[in-house]
A and B are shown apart, each in its own frame.
Chain A
């Protein structure tokens, strides 16, 4: 079983739609959960960061963590064409410095 699994997509949605992006993981030691956005051939840019279980909202973005199910989600409301990118989940145990990334989900928001 892979440490972090993420559907690679592509996911195509119309402008204004609500987008749901998800990752599952196998290592219960993960405590910190991040979502990064990556445009083509660019560096990952942090969108959301959550510690342990629960929800966190920032503008159009909501991150959700369910540690009991080992499942994390990112919701994007009122999606825009500029949201078209690859979304990466990244996890950290808090006791080691490395981030463990998912493969990323490619999102396309169409007009």
Chain B
């Protein structure tokens, strides 16, 4: 069964450093997403991406964050100047169409620890 793959599975970074989390969405999917889950809290939407541009973003997704589809298969989340509160599990997801009838498939997550 096709799946969303994410790397790294776990990253530890110093506060203030930049981090890039990588994702390979399911190959025929056109919509891509990042969600995050702080330990013990709910899964929260960050951003959705379609046709090489952001289609929707939450208030969490401020100038510290950016997304990119650099090469037609990868989808990345960049976090600049990481803060302790950025420590969370970050999930990449993808769907074939715009939600409203299309299943969103999640990856296994990248656990980010900021120290």
Q: Which residues of A contact B (CB under 8 A)?
A: 31-32, 36, 41-46, 49, 51, 88, 90, 92, 94-104
Contacts and interface: CB of A to CB of B under 8 A. Distances in A.
B75 interface: no
A92 B101 CA distance: 10
Main secondary structure of the interface of A (DSSP, over half): loop
B31 A97 contact: yes
B101 A98 contact: no
B18 interface: no
A101 B104 contact: no
What are the 4 A-B residue pairs with the smallest beta carbon separation, nearest first? A43-B106, A98-B45, A94-B100, A97-B48
B81 interface: no
Interface string B93-105: 0000011110111
B107 A43 contact: yes
A97 B56 contact: yes
A46 B103 CA distance: 8
B41 A103 contact: yes
Interface in B58-115: 58, 89, 91, 98-101, 103-109, 111
Contacts of B45: 98-100
